[in-house]
């Protein structure tokens, strides 16, 4: 019996019911959707994403490759040709000026040749400025020319003292174009002064000619060389863009991924639906394979076209030989005029001779030593070019020989040098024209292989997506 001090506790007998915790309500895309429908929608998303990625990769790569080929045809190749023509025209003009002085009186043909070379150089400078986007010439050119003309009588062997320094050649295309635009008129003005004094038999005419040649050698030709190197770099960059394999790898990976997704989806549908063949998915797979095969074949053919026959390389080698020949001719003709000046023309000629002989041995398969050839080989033939180069170098070596007498022999040597180098130029120009024709045909063939690729592949991938979407839609309709 409980103690009176303790209260009585009533105990309820029976099972105790505990309420279960309420489950949180689920919200989501797949809530309430059967598993089969979820699997089919997963196939739809994977198929469309895979085809869209592969199609985007193919169309983008086709656009990039076509832009690169168009850049070669319309921008870099014309720019490189203009750069080579500028250098060759300036070297030729310098040689014509020296030849006219040594012949005693300038003939109308020599004057017309000099003016034509200068016009080609100035026209090429304008073309190169447009191609490189360098803009207008610096307004300091007018003052530069005025200062150069004012300083023309202060020295006989050095560039004008008030002109910007010319011992360091320009390092970029913009500076090179500025130098060419500003200094070519200065050079022409000095040649005009030399002509005027030579007609009156004033000995100061030789000093003006030395001044002009020194300006050409120290400032103008280095600027032309810088422009040529810039154009070569742009051409090489365009060629790498047009022949690189990164796009091919991206297309192969994306296309293989899309094909694998399509095959997996078809196998999965055959297992789930007990239907072995889905015509629409099969058609989408064939369309995707056709687009990939077309793209890879076009890229392979385009690359083979651009690398066939060396691309622009043969024409560039002929341009280089032409410029070296012009400079060697100019050095040989100026040697008798400018002895004791600031430019060592005999040493420069020997350096050019070594370069031409090495190039002839490497590019035209002829030994670099031996006697001059005889006969009249076919123009443009590699062996003909090498033989004519040997004849021209022999004439130039005779012209700079200190033991050769002055007077009438000087004019005869100059005429021989001019004739031999003119024959070499004719042969080089003939071979260059054929090389440029081959290059243009290869670029045209590359563009032809890529023509319509971007639009065609986009249409094929769009049809593949539509076909696969229809096939999957019909399978989804079976579950409704």
Tell me the pLDDT of the chain (480 aa) as tens digits.
Answer: 455 555 555 555 555 555 555 555 554 555 556 677 788 888 888 889 989 999 998 999 999 899 989 888 888 888 888 888 898 889 888 888 888 877 777 788 888 888 999 999 988 888 888 877 665 445 456 555 555 545 444 444 444 443 444 445 555 778 888 888 889 999 999 988 888 888 887 878 888 888 888 888 888 988 988 888 888 888 888 888 888 877 888 888 888 889 999 998 888 888 887 777 788 889 999 999 999 999 999 998 888 888 876 777 888 888 888 888 888 888 888 776 665 445 577 788 888 888 888 888 777 654 444 443 333 334 446 668 888 888 888 888 887 776 665 545 666 777 788 888 888 888 888 888 888 888 888 888 989 999 899 999 999 999 999 998 888 888 877 765
A 10 A CB-CB count for 164 gives: 15
Beta carbons within 8 Å of 370's beta carbon, 6+ residues apart? 390
Q: Which residues fall within 8 angstroms of residue 94, CB to CB, at 6 or more apart?
A: 212, 213, 216, 326, 330, 334
Give the helix ranges, DSSP H, for 244-311. Answer: 246-273, 279-307
CA dist 185 and 260 (Å) reads 67
Pairwise CA distance, residues 273 & 36, whole Å: 10
3-state SS, 125-160, equals HHHHHHHHCCCCCCCHHHHHHHHHHHCCCCCCCCCC
End-to-end CA distance of the chain: 75
Gap between the Cα atoms of 151 and 132, Å rounded: 32
Q: Report the pLDDT value the prediction gives residue 462, as an integer from 0 to 100.
A: 93
CA dihedral over 420, 423, 429, 434, signed as positive or negative: negative
Residues in the chain: 480
Distance between CA atoms of 217 and 90, rounded to whole angstroms? 10
**Residues contacting residue 396 through CB under 8 Å, at least 6 positions apart:** 328, 329, 331, 332, 349, 353, 417, 420, 421
Alpha helices by DSSP H, listed for 151-203, are 173-199
Predicted local distance difference test score (pLDDT) of residue 365: 52
- Residue 32 has a pLDDT of 58
Between CA 239 and CA 312 the distance in angstroms is 10
What CA–CA distance (Å, rounded) separates 214 from 156? 10
- Residue 82 in contact with residue 159, Cβ under 8 Å? no
Q: What is the pLDDT of residue 238?
A: 87
Prediction pTM value: 0.70
Measure the CA–CA gap between 419 and 333, rounded to whole angstroms: 12
């Amino acid at each position: 019996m409980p103690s009176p001090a303790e209260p009585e506790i009533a105990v309820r007998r029976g099972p105790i019911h505990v309420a279960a915790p309420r489950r949180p309500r689920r919200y989501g895309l797949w809530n309430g959707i059967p598993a089969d429908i979820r699997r089919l929608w997963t196939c739809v998303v994977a198929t469309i994403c895979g085809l869209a990625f592969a199609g985007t990769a193919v169309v983008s790569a086709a656009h990039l490759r076509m832009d690169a080929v168009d850049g070669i045809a319309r921008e870099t190749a014309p720019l490189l040709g203009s750069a080579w023509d500028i250098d060759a025209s300036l070297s030729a003009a310098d040689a014509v000026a020296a030849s006219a002085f040594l012949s005693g009186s300038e003939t109308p043909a020599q004057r017309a040749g000099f003016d034509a070379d200068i016009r080609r150089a100035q026209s090429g400078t304008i073309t190169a400025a447009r191609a490189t986007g360098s803009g207008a010439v610096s307004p300091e050119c007018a003052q530069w020319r005025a200062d150069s003309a004012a300083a023309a009588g202060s020295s006989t062997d050095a560039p004008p003292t008030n002109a910007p320094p010319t011992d360091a050649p320009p390092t970029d295309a913009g500076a090179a174009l500025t130098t060419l635009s500003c200094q070519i008129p200065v050079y022409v003005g000095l040649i005009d002064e030399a002509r005027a004094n030579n007609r009156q038999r004033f000995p100061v005419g030789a000093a003006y000619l030395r001044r002009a040649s020194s300006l050409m050698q120290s400032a103008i030709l280095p600027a032309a060389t810088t422009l040529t190197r810039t154009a070569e770099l742009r051409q090489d960059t365009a060629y790498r863009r047009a022949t690189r394999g990164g796009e091919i790898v991206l297309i192969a990976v994306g296309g293989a991924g899309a094909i694998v997704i399509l095959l997996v989806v078809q196998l999965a549908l055959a297992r789930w639906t007990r239907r072995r063949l889905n015509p629409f998915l099969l058609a989408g797979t064939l369309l995707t394979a056709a687009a990939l095969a077309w793209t890879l074949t076009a890229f392979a053919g385009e690359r083979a076209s651009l690398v066939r026959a060396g691309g622009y390389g043969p024409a560039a080698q002929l341009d280089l030989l032409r410029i070296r020949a012009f400079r060697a001719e100019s050095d040989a003709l100026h040697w008798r005029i400018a002895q004791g000046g600031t430019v060592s023309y005999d040493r420069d000629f020997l350096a050019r001779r070594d370069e031409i002989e090495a190039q002839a041995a490497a590019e035209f398969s002829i030994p670099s030593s031996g006697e001059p050839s005889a006969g009249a080989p076919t123009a443009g033939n590699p062996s003909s070019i090498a033989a004519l180069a040997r004849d021209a170098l022999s004439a130039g070596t005779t012209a700079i020989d200190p033991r050769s007498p002055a007077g009438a022999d000087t004019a005869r040597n100059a005429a021989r040098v001019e004739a031999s180098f003119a024959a070499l130029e004719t042969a080089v120009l003939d071979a260059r024209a054929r090389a440029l024709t081959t290059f243009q045909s290869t670029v045209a063939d590359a563009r032809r292989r890529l023509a319509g690729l971007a639009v065609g592949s986009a249409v094929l991938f769009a049809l593949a997506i539509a076909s696969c979407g229809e096939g999957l839609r019909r399978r989804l309709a079976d579950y409704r």
